[in-house]
Amino acid sequence: MESLKRRVLVVEDDPSMQQLISSVLSEDGFRCETTATVTEAYQMVNEDNFDLLVLDRKLPDGDGVRLLRRLRSKEVLTPAIVVTAHPSVDTAAEALQSAAFDYLTKPFEPAQLLEKAQCAVADQMLIDENLFLWKTLKQKYGWSHVMSRNPPTQHTYIVAAKAAASFAPVLVEGETGTGKEYLARAVHYFSDRAEQAMVTVNCGGFPDELLENELFGHEKGAFTSANSAKPGLCEVADGGTLFLDEIGHMSSAMQIKLLRFVEDHSFARLGATKPVTVDVRIITASNQPLAEMVQSGQFREDLYYRLNVIPLKLRPLRQRPEDIEPFTKHFMQQFDFADTKWITSEGWQKLHEYDWPGNLRELRNVIQRAGVLTSGEAIKPKHLLLQGQATASDGAVENPSDESSPTSPLLSIEEMERQHIIAVLETCDGDRRAAAEILGVSPSTLYRRLNKYGIERDC
């Protein structure tokens, strides 16, 4: 049983404090080893594995926080508690910025130390479990292109991988631009239906009559212009996956018709008398919380429970800031300028300070624009055009006083979007197709926005 005890390295030069910490933790089942110097602590951590570090801030040959920074630079992720006799806001901030789990101020109650130690080890166990599952996921399913560093998002992909092997309906929820369709495609392509079609229907893009026809098809003569029979997308997806995007926009009348299809996978074409039965896996997505829509009567409860067998939730980018860097580098590689351009520290700061209302889709567009706008190698804040900012040519500065200043609060969302579209159009010399690609929308969507904001008259 000794080998199963959680191992702690106590780095403390005061013999009485060293004894106190070791005694408190040992009584709770920790196995403590001690040292009084930074040099010996660094050597011990490099040569052996510990479950927790307790580091004094001031040591005879150095600083516990600097030791932790050095360990983190070597990718030693062991949780650490920093102990200091000189408390201050700056000290606490410095400890936490150095990736310490927590800090303690001398003198402290033994119960405080024990609680923080237990929490640190429990938290690390959860992280280790996620990392293990994540590595297994990559090895088993080949999802090496999924690069999230955010534990809840990693867990979502782990659940998605398990769901891929089943026939159960999947509901993906998340804000616009968080990667819902990407996740849905991952579920499809790592299922046994991967060689069959994945058919996507945007439920918010059709009125009821057209959506019903799009899903279920029609027979010849079903309506005036029905000169020939047409299979619906439910039939096209037979043997594969039907992905219903923005399901929350579906009307109550269409929800009833979809419910019947979900229950037995059969339907009748418009104008037909015989039902058609298909074998499809159903994945749905919504940028609105369907549970709240059920409570308000906007979405059918029975349909919700049939679709929400396996729920997958994607967090917005503002709640997963650790993903900004890996996705930025991924997009730079995707647009073929990762080897020729680099982002300055001020540029990285601007990316991390922004709220990203458009999530990963907006980040992708910002990085693509930056690659186009930057004639040199360095991507600076002025090249990272965010919503509401005017366009900047290479060498221009958006705001002479502060080039990373936030958007004016007086601008409405519509005005921010209008200025954003104009900036991209100017960057593309008025090429609307190129602008649509940079904005991440279809040309028809861009044309509607141009008409809505009267941009065609202004440009």
Domains and CATH numbers, the chain: 2-126 (3.40.50.2300), 151-313 (3.40.50.300), 318-458 (1.10.8.60)
pLDDT single digits (tens) 146-190: 667 888 888 888 888 888 888 899 999 999 999 898 889 888 988
What pLDDT does residue 234 have? 94
Each residue of 64-81: b (16+ CB within 10 Å) or e?
bbebbeebeeeebebbbb
β-strands 62-63, 58-59: how paired? antiparallel
Tell me, yes or no, if the pTM score tops 0.85.
Answer: no
Paired tokens of 416: 């921010």
How many angstroms separate the CA atoms of 361 and 154, rounded?
Answer: 19
End-to-end CA distance of the chain: 75
Distance separating alpha carbons of residues 217 and 208, to the nearest angstrom:
13
Cα gap 57→91, rounded to integer Å: 9
Q: Which residues of the chain have pLDDT under 50?
A: 1-4, 390-410, 457-458
In whole angstroms, what is the distance from residue 248 CA to residue 202 CA?
Answer: 10
- What per-residue confidence (pLDDT) applies to 235? 94
Q: What pLDDT, on a 0 to 100 scale, did the predictor assign at position 402?
A: 38
Which residue's entry shows tokens 């979405």? 299
Length of the chain counted residue by residue: 459
Q: Are 191 and 167 in contact (CB under 8 A)?
A: no
Q: Which residues contact 359 (CB under 8 A, 6 or more apart)?
A: 175, 176, 177, 178, 179, 316, 317
- Biggest CA-to-CA distance, the chain: 93
Q: Report how far apart, in Å, the C-alpha atoms of 437 and of each of 107, 373, 389, 416 are.
A: 60, 15, 19, 19
Which tokens in the block code for residue 439? 């904005």
Tokens of 242: 């039907």
What does the pLDDT read at residue 328? 92
CB 155 within 8 A of CB 137: no
- Spatial separation of the C-alpha atoms in residues 364 and 332, rounded to whole Å: 9
Cβ atoms 280, 242 nearer than 8 A: yes
Closest by CA position to 406, among listed 393, 388, 394, 390: 388
